[in-house]
Amino acid sequence: MERRSIDVVPDGERHGSAFSQFTLWLGANLQITAVITGALAVVFGAGPLWAVTGLALGNVLGGAVMALHSAQGPRLGLPQMISSRAQFGVRGAIVPLALVIVMYVGFFASGSVLAGQAVGELTGLGETAGIILFALVTGIGAAVGYRLIHTLGRLASLICALAFVYLGFRLLQRAGLGGLLADRAFELPVFLLAVALAASWQLAYGPYVADYSRYLPRSTSARATFWWTLAGTGIGSQWSMTFGALAAAAAGGSFTGHEVEYIVGLGGAGIIASGLYFVIALGKLTINVLNTYGGFMSLVTSVSGFRGQAVLSQRARAAYIGGIMVAGTALALLGKDSFLTSFKDFLLFLLTAFTPWSAINLVDYYLIAKERYDLPAFSDPAGRYGAWRWRALSVYVIGLLAQFPFLATHFYTGPFVGPLGGADISWIVGLAVPAVLYWLLARHDTSHIPDRTILGPDDAETAAGAGGGGGRPTADTGAGTTAGDGPRA
Residues 212-218 have a mean pLDDT of 94
Residues 461-484 have a mean pLDDT of 38
Task: Specify the pLDDT at position 489.
Answer: 34
Q: What is the pLDDT of residues 30-84, one digit of tens each?
A: 998 899 889 989 988 888 999 999 999 999 999 999 999 999 999 999 888 888 9
CA distance 375 to 370: 14
Q: How many CB atoms lie within 10 A of CB 9?
A: 24
What is the residue type of 235? I
Q: Which CATH number fits domain 16-355: 2.40.50.100, 1.10.4160.10, 3.40.50.1110, 1.10.10.10?
A: 1.10.4160.10
Instruction: Give exposure, 129-140, as e/b (b: 16+ Cβ within 10 Å).
Output: ebbbbbbeebbe
CA distance 202 to 197: 9
**Domain ranges for the chain:** 16-355
Confidence band for 347, pLDDT divided at 50, 70 and 90: low
Please answer whether residues 175 and 182 qualify as being in contact, where contact means their C-beta atoms are separated by less than 8 angstroms: no
Number of helical H runs and strand E runs in the chain = 18, 0
CA distance 246 to 48: 6
Task: Specify the pLDDT at position 409.
Answer: 74
pTM, full prediction: 0.86
The secondary structure element, H or E, covering residue 58 is helix 48-70
Q: Does 481 score more than 60 pLDDT?
A: no
Confidence band for 488, pLDDT divided at 50, 70 and 90: very low
CA distance 266 to 180: 16
Diameter of the chain by CA atoms? 72
Q: Does 279 score more than 80 pLDDT?
A: yes
Residues 339-343 have a mean pLDDT of 60
Q: What percent of the chain has pLDDT over 70?
A: 88
Q: Does 277 score more than 80 pLDDT?
A: yes
Q: Coil, helix or strand for 178? A: helix
- Terminal-to-terminal C-alpha distance of the chain: 16
Q: What is the pLDDT of residues 388-411, one digit of tens each?
A: 999 999 999 999 999 999 887 777
Residues 254-267 have a mean pLDDT of 78
Average pLDDT, the chain: 84
SS3 content of the chain, % helix, strand, coil (to 5): 70, 0, 30
What is the residue type of 190? V
Q: Does 474 score more than 50 pLDDT?
A: no
3-state secondary structure the chain: CCCCCCCCCCHHHCCCCCHHHHHHHHHHHCCHHHHHHHHHHHHCCCCHHHHHHHHHHHHHHHHHHHHHHHCHHHHHCCCCHHHHHHHHCCCCCHHHHHHHHHHHHHHHHHHHHHHHHHHHHHHCCCHHHHHHHHHHHHHHHHHHCHHHHHHHHHHHHHHHHHHHHHHHHHHHHHCCHHHHCCCCCCCHHHHHHHHHHHHHHHHCCCCCHHHHCCCCCCCCCHHHHHHHHHHHHHHHHHHHHHHHHHHHHHHHHHCCCCHHHHHHHHHCCCHHHHHHHHHHHHHHHHHHHHHHHHHHHHHHHHHHHHHCCCCCCHHHHHHHHHHHHHHHHHHHHHHHHHHHHHHHHHHHHHHHHHHHHHHHHHHHHHHHCCCCCECHHHHCCCCCCCCCCHHHHHHHHHHHHHHHHHCECCCCECCCCCCCCCCCCHHHHHHHHHHHHHHHHHCCCCCCCCCCCECCHHHHHHHHHHCCCCCCCCCCCCCCCCCCCCCCC
Q: Does 356 score more than 50 pLDDT?
A: yes
For 23, what's the count of Cα atoms within 13 Å in the CB-facing half-sphere?
15
What is the residue type of 186? F
